[in-house]
């Protein structure tokens, strides 16, 4: 990137900017601080002013090859380098390489006596000398307000400060001036009157005993900038700012499908699992196997050789690994291979924004393919529903934008409708799988169903599943008529149906036999009738013959009689 090389960013109207290199800050300022102009950083004690300023210089020196001068009014060079050593900033090394000069300005009110007119030319000369000696492009004055307590004549001081800021502009250095926030005013001594180009406010607020650092750009002359309060985090690698407003709806949509690790669940989801870069919510009451499904996904991801980030907000890494083993999932080997990374932190450890920032940071570091958040529901411990929803939306958006698949589990309370997730985030989820306990006939069985799955021809069946030592398995679909049974009830029903089937088949046999028998009977009867008929026929024929013979005999007899009686024959 060109920006990396020069640290210079041009905005639309030609205002030159100096990239700070601080994660997130360049995003919300649209490229950095106004180049060759002073920027005022104000905040209360402990809000991170000095650190921000120091990181500005260190990153400038390291990443953009812009040496810097740090004028410290409160801490000496040794204290400063000790303080920032924990962030991996080796100030002594930078000083040796002539990339950084720390000039400690010591003012002790009790030693100073004002004896007439003076100016702050001494400070100018020191600064000028320091800038020249290393060709500095960046200057930090931390905290220049110390002058107000050191020098009693405010009129001279104010005039001189005005001159100083003018002078800094003329020098062409990008300056950062820190100041304590005052009571009702931005800074205690009204420095904002002099530094008007860019004002950043740092804040350290405590809500519900959880403190969150926030940053806001109050003004930025000649540039568009984010106007919200952005939470930021100070950790071992410095400051990271989370730009909230990056919630946009133009993330890419992948058509690649990835497996959940449970083949039959994939089948339910239309065959191949769910879309890469989509978000999946698994909600259910306690003990329904949400984490087990999450572990399956983590395992399947690593099996493909992809990286997975497991955010556990309830269990420790070791606990998840142990529990995984009990269902036949070995997550430990993936952590050893570096494919799986756990990040366990109690929700109450810090505020929602902080969680978000830290997740951002890890995701940026390891760029995983899948992020598992288990569970999201106890985030409500640190924020109201709307806040959690907002935070998750930002998180999901961030992940989607990077085409990172996410799986969140959510605990629903036993009472109330099961379709209601605690944090009301279902609308921003692409796939929502509901897990449920069915209590029936003295046992609980686990069932799951896909409540929604965007862009997929998913099954509408309520499926029973079992958690075995080999993981989650979906039980065969009950395809009988009538109600869908689960658990022992299903087995009973199946047995019953088997018995019925046997009975039915026996019935058929009996009828068949009867038919056969009937046919036999009929055949027998036919034979009998024929025999009868035949014997009858014989009889009757005999009778006929006898009759005819008789007739002949009779006729013959009659002739004889007629001859005897001399009967004449009519003619």
Partner 1 sequence: MATAQPKKLTKKLEKSVREMKLRKFVLKLYITGATPRSTRAILNIREICEEHLQGRYKLEIIDIFQKPVLARGEQIIAAPTLIKKLPLPLRRFIGDMSDREKILIGLDLRPKK
Residues that bind partner 1 (CB under 8 A): 103, 105-107, 111-123, 125-126, 128-130, 147, 150-151
The backbone torsions φ and ψ at residue 475, rounded to the nearest 5 degrees and listed phi first, read -80, 150
Q: How far is the CB of 69 from partner 1 (least distance, A)?
A: 11
Q: How far is the CB of 343 from partner 1 (least distance, A)?
A: 46
- Burial (CB count within 10 angstroms: exposed 0-12, middle 13-18, buried 19+), residue 403: middle
Nearer to partner 1, 117 or 170 (CB): 117
Round to whole Å and give the CA distance between 62 and 350.
31
Nearer to partner 1, 111 or 250 (CB): 111
Euclidean distance between the first and the last CA atom of the chain, given in angstroms as a whole number: 151
DSSP-derived secondary structure for 208-253: TTEEEEEEEEEEETTS----SEEEEEEETTEEEE--GGG--S----
Nearer to partner 1, 107 or 428 (CB): 107
Nearer to partner 1, 134 or 215 (CB): 134
Q: How far is the CB of 179 from partner 1 (least distance, A)?
A: 17
Q: How many CA atoms lie within 13 A of 111 on its CB side?
A: 3
Nearer to partner 1, 159 or 224 (CB): 159
The backbone torsions φ and ψ at residue 41, rounded to the nearest 5 degrees and listed phi first, read -110, 115
CA distances from 520 to 506, 516, 524, 526 (A): 21, 6, 6, 10
Nearest Cα to Cα of residue 147 among 122, 171, 117: 122
The backbone torsions φ and ψ at residue 275, rounded to the nearest 5 degrees and listed phi first, read -65, 140
Q: How far is the CB of 66 from partner 1 (least distance, A)?
A: 22
For 195-222, b where at least 16 C-beta lie within 10 A, e where not — what string? bebbbbbbbeeeeeebebbbbbbeebee
Nearer to partner 1, 152 or 455 (CB): 152
Nearer to partner 1, 119 or 551 (CB): 119
C-beta separation of 106 from 149 below 8 A: no
Q: How far is the CB of 175 from partner 1 (least distance, A)?
A: 17
Q: How far is the CB of 52 from partner 1 (least distance, A)?
A: 24
Q: How far is the CB of 176 from partner 1 (least distance, A)?
A: 19
Q: How far is the CB of 147 from partner 1 (least distance, A)?
A: 7
Q: How far is the CB of 134 from partner 1 (least distance, A)?
A: 14
Nearer to partner 1, 150 or 424 (CB): 150
What are the strands of the beta sheet with 68-72, ordered from one edge?
Answer: 100-104, 68-72, 138-142, 174-180, 38-43, 198-207, 210-220, 229-235, 238-241
Q: How far is the CB of 145 from partner 1 (least distance, A)?
A: 14
Nearer to partner 1, 128 or 397 (CB): 128
What lies within 8 Å, CB to CB, of 189 at 6+ separation is 145, 148, 179, 182
Measured N-to-C along each axis, helices 352-366 and 385-401 cross at an angle, to the nearest 10 degrees, of 10
Whose tokens are 């009129």? That residue is 155
Nearer to partner 1, 111 or 236 (CB): 111
Nearer to partner 1, 132 or 496 (CB): 132
Q: How far is the CB of 122 from partner 1 (least distance, A)?
A: 4
Pairing of strands 443-453, 463-468: antiparallel
C-beta separation of 439 from 406 below 8 A: no
Note the maximum CA span of the chain.
Answer: 204
């Amino acid at each position: 990137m060109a920006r990396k090389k020069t640290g210079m960013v041009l905005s639309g109207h030609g205002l030159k900017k100096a990239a700070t290199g601080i994660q997130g800050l360049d995003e919300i300022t649209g490229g950095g601080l106004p180049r060759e102009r002073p920027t005022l950083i104000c905040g209360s004690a402990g809000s991170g002013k000095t650190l921000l300023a120091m990181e500005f210089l260190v990153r400038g020196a390291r990443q953009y090859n812009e040496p810097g001068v740090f004028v410290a009014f409160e801490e000496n060079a040794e204290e400063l380098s000790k303080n920032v050593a924990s962030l991996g900033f080796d100030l002594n090394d930078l000083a040796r390489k002539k990339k950084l000069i720390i000039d400690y300005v010591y003012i002790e009110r009790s030693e100073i006596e004002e004896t007439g007119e003076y100016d702050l030319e001494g400070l100018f000369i020191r600064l000028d000398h320091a800038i020249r000696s290393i060709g500095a492009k960046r200057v930090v004055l931390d905290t220049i307000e110390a002058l107000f307590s050191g020098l009693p004549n405010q009129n001279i001081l104010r005039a001189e400060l005005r001159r100083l800021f003018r002078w800094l502009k003329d020098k062409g250095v990008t300056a950062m001036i820190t100041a304590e926030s005052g009571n009702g005013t931005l800074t205690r001594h009204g420095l904002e009157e002099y530094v008007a180009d860019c004002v950043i406010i740092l804040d350290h607020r405590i809500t519900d005993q959880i403190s969150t650092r926030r940053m806001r750009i109050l003004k930025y002359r000649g540039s568009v900038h984010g106007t919200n309060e952005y939470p930021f985090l100070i950790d071992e690698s410095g400051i990271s700012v989370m730009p909230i407003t990056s919630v946009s709806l133009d993330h890419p949509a992948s058509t690649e499908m990835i497996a959940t690790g449970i083949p039959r669940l994939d089948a339910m989801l239309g065959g191949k699992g769910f879309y890469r870069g989509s978000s999946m919510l698994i909600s259910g009451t306690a003990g329904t196997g949400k984490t087990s499904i999450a572990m399956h996904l983590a395992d399947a991801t690593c099996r493909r050789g992809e990286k997975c980030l497991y955010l556990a907000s309830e269990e420790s890494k070791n606990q998840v690994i142990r529990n995984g083993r009990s269902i036949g999932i070995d997550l430990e080997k993936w952590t050893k291979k570096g494919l799986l990374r756990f990040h366990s932190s109690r929700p109450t450890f810090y505020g929602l924004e902080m969680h978000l920032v830290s997740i951002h940071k890890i995701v940026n570091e390891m760029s995983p393919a899948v992020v598992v958040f288990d569970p999201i529901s106890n985030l409500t411990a640190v924020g109201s529903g709307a806040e959690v929803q907002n935070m998750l939306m930002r998180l999901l958006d961030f992940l989607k934008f990077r085409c990172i698949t996410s799986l969140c589990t959510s605990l629903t309370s036993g009472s109330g409708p099961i379709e209601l997730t605690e944090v009301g985030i279902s609308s921003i989820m692409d796939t929502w799988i509901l897990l449920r306990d069915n209590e029936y006939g003295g046992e609980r069985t686990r069932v799951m169903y896909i409540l929604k799955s965007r862009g997929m021809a998913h099954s509408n069946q309520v499926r029973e599943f079992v958690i075995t030592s080999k993981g989650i398995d979906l039980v065969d679909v009950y395809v009988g008529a009538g109600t869908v049974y689960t658990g022992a009830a299903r087995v009973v029903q199946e047995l019953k149906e088997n018995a019925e089937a046997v009975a039915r088949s026996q019935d058929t046999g009996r009828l068949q036999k009867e038919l056969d028998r009937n046919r036999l009977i009929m055949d027998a009867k036919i034979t009998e009738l024929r025999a009868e008929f035949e014997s009858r026929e014989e009889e009757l024929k005999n009778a006929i013959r006898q009759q005819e013979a008789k007739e002949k005999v009779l006729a013959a007899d009659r002739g004889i009689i007629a001859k005897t009686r001399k009967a004449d024959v009519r003619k």
